Amino acid sequence: MEESCLLWLLVVTSLLSGCTHQASLKISPHRSQLFVGEFVSLRCEEDDSSDGLTVTRNTSKDTRSPCGAGWGTKDGSDCNISFIFPSDSGVYWCESTGGAASSSINITVTGGAVILQSPVLPVMEGDDVTLTCTTETSNLSADFYKDGSFIRTEPTGHMTIHHVSRSDEGLYKCNIISDGESPPSWITVTEKPASPSSPSAPSPPPVPVWSMVLAILSSLFSLVPLVLLVLEVRRLTNRKPKGIYLPVSMEMAPPTQAEQGLADEYDDVMAAVTTEHHL
């Protein structure tokens, strides 16, 4: 009964919070594994760019280090790394002057010859995901692994996972016999939202007042069997000779009302139920 109201509040709250825009970090080239020496461009994007955003990182050497402070070339919310090193591997995100942060990207820089190209951002349940195993120059036949276990060999170097589910989440890597192994990359799979709020679908209209009313009415309806049960119990206990069983009505209403008719009692209960739901 109360749960359905809470559920509606949750739905409304999540719809409202879906309207606030979050900054996002864009990386070019669009992958999280990079070869030593590559030029990398990072950019913070926000619809409402009134607040200054800075690309910030955690690496094994530094924590919460902003672009320009010993690494990268900063220009507003742009940040370029002209020659990337394995020591630049780490977590990168956008941070506003207010301290708010965007979702983060894991960047791994390898001194090896092979990289795994995997989605930079978490993937949605049900999506198809293609992993590519490549050297700087070409795609060759590659072996793919998840959490250390061999999955399969792909002659083209591309492996597609159809309709990913939460169980596909894990640490992936690949191996090209002639060139070596890639570093591992973590793939995050997020639950598909209950409401159709994916960017391809038009955003749902705000929940109208009538559906809130409907939710409250339906939760009232779910009380009907309970009300009938209470009435039946009271009817039966009123019939019984007074003795070991205290009449239920004695505990719920003053004794003067104990003898009132069924109709009155029904009204009382309905009144109680109604006030209970004026949140």
Ligand X SMILES: *[C@@H]1O[C@H](CO)[C@@H](O)[C@H](O)[C@H]1NC(C)=O
Q: Which of 24, 104, 139, 190 binds ligand X (CB under 6 A)?
A: 104
- 91 lies in the binding site for ligand X (CB under 6 A): yes
Distance of closest approach, residue 106 Cβ to ligand X, in angstroms:
4
Binding range to ligand X, per CB under 6 A, among 18-26, 70-78, 146-154, 233-241 = 70-78
**Residue 161's CB: how many other CB atoms inside 10 A?**
19
Q: Give every CB contact of residue 145 below 8 A, 6+ residues apart in sequence.
A: 151, 172, 173, 174, 175
What number of chain residues touch ligand X (CB under 6 A)? 15
| H-helix segments, 39-162 | none
Side-chain-side CA neighbours of residue 195 (13 Å): 18
Site residues (CB under 6 A) for ligand X, limited to 175-194: 186, 188
Site residues (CB under 6 A) for ligand X, limited to 227-266: none
Element of type H or E holding 212: helix 209-221
Among candidate residues 129, 66, 119, 63, the one with its CA nearest the CA of residue 96: 66
Distance of closest approach, residue 24 Cβ to ligand X, in angstroms:
12
Distance of closest approach, residue 52 Cβ to ligand X, in angstroms:
14
Q: Which of 24, 58, 197, 238 binds ligand X (CB under 6 A)?
A: 58
CA–CA separation, 183 vs 181, rounded Å? 7
105 vs 176, which CB is nearer to ligand X? 105
- 168 lies in the binding site for ligand X (CB under 6 A): no
The long-range contacts involving 199-202, CB below 8 angstroms and separated by at least 24 positions, are: none
- 147 lies in the binding site for ligand X (CB under 6 A): no
Distance of closest approach, residue 39 Cβ to ligand X, in angstroms:
7
Q: Write the Ramachandran bin of 99: left for phi over 0, alpha for psi from -120 to 50, otherwise beta.
A: left
Distance of closest approach, residue 76 Cβ to ligand X, in angstroms:
8
Footprint of ligand X (CB under 6 A) = 41, 58, 63-64, 73-75, 78, 80, 91, 93, 104, 106, 186, 188
